[in-house]
């Protein structure tokens, strides 16, 4: 800025201009954009400058004005640094948030109440979900599939791919099922959880009563436990009976009449009364639509050459 302009602005703001100087300052404000800009800057700073105790001191006013301008520039640089680090911090927060969202991301698979759903897990293991069943597992892109699946509701059949380094865990409301490579059926309801092992070997852990932990199952074992039982109930069953629901038709793999009675109890909620114990162990093979009970009974009646009566919740084999 011109030296004369500094003096004129300072005197104008200090109220010490003559009439001619005041008139000149007003004309410059109207016609000279640079003068007007500098005038406004100095005016903004003027309020923070202590008024001189003596008459107008041009050198002092100039010095104080320059000081205020430098302080403003320093403050601007300071805030630029603050904003720079704030931007870095916000960026880190966004990255951290994205990582947290990824590693906590869960995938949920559910079967409709009217259909059976088959789902392949990231490791190639296959889960068949009975009608209305729900499973969930970690779906992180940063972490590999941890081979842990939670069965929260209903019934599911697991066909687990073997891994030399990593086991497989099915978490149920009542206990955990630890497997290496096997096939098994798990059913959860409000009062208990039942597992039937078809092939391989599994170990049950994490019961609410730790004294039950470490139950090792062999093929054909069934273990039931929950609020309906004070302790795990282990029994020997035909495991294929418990996985018939996976097929659209019911395959009778040389089942005995007693095993057929168990099938009717599990899938149709019927009590079977066998009047002649001589046929209890007789075996039947074949297939029929799994949802047509009357057609199934008609086929069994023909094979056994016995009259079968279907009455309410009972099936009577005469």
Single pTM value for the model = 0.65
Architecture of domain 247-317: 3-Layer(bab) Sandwich (3.55)
Torsion over CA of 277, 279, 280 and 281, rounded to 10 degrees?
130
| pLDDT, position 74 | 61
* pLDDT of 69: 61
C-beta separation of 42 from 9 below 8 A: yes
Name the band, by pLDDT with cuts 50, 70 and 90, for residue 304.
confident
Quick: pLDDT tens for 74-128: 666 656 655 666 666 676 667 666 666 766 778 899 999 888 999 999 889 999 9
Q: What residue has token string 């096939």?
A: 183
Higher pLDDT, 151 or 46: 151
Question: 252 pairs with which residues across the strands?
Answer: 286
The pair phi, psi for residue 175, each rounded to 5°, is -170, 170
DSSP annotation of 242 reads G
Q: Which residue has the higher pLDDT, 110 or 23?
A: 110
Residues 6 or more apart from 106 whose CB is under 8 A from it?
Answer: 136, 137, 138, 139
Q: Tell me what the pLDDT averaged over the chain comes to.
A: 80
Q: Encode pLDDT of 146-190 as tens digits.
A: 889 999 999 999 999 888 778 899 999 999 999 877 899 999 988
Show me where the domains of the chain are located: 3-99, 106-239, 247-317
- Burial of 64-92, coded b for 16+ CB within 10 Å and e otherwise, reads bbeebeeeeeeeeeeeeeeeeeeeeeeee
State how far the Cα of 136 lies from the Cα of 294, in Å rounded to an integer: 37
Instruction: Look up the CATH number of domain 106-239.
Output: 2.60.120.1440
Distance between start and end Cα atoms, the chain: 119
């Amino acid at each position: 800025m011109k030296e004369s302009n500094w003096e004129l602005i300072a005197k104008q703001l200090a109220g010490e201009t003559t009439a001619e100087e005041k008139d000149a300052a007003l004309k410059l404000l109207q016609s000279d954009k640079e003068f007007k800009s500098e005038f406004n800057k100095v005016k903004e700073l003027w309020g923070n400058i202590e008024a001189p105790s003596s008459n107008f001191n041009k050198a002092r006013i100039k010095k104080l004005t320059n000081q205020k301008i430098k302080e403003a520039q320093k403050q601007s640089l300071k805030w630029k640094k603050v904003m720079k680090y704030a931007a870095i911090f916000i960026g880190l927060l966004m990255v951290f948030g994205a990582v947290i969202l990824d590693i906590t991301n869960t995938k949920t698979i559910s079967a409709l109440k009217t259909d059976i759903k088959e789902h392949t897990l990231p490791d190639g293991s296959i889960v068949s979900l009975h009608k209305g069943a729900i499973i969930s597992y970690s779906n992180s892109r940063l972490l590999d599939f941890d081979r842990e699946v939670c069965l929260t509701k209903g019934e599911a059949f697991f066909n687990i791919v073997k891994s030399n380094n990593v086991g497989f865990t099915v978490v149920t409301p009542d206990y955990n099922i630890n497997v290496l490579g096997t096939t098994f059926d798990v059913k959860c309801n409000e009062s208990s959880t039942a597992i039937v092992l078809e092939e391989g070997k599994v170990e049950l852990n994490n019961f609410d009563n730790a004294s039950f932990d470490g139950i090792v199952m062999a093929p054909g074992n069934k273990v039931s436990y929950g609020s309906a039982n004070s302790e795990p109930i282990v029994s020997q069953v035909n495991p294929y009976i418990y996985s018939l629901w996976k097929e659209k038709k019911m395959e009778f793999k040389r089942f005995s009449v007693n095993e057929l009675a168990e099938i009717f109890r599990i899938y149709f909620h019927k009590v079977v009364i066998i009047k002649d114990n001589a046929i209890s162990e007789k075996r039947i093979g074949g297939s029929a639509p799994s949802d047509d009970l009357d057609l199934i009974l008609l086929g069994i009646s023909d094979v056994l050459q016995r009259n079968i009566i279907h009455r309410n919740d009972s099936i009577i084999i005469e």
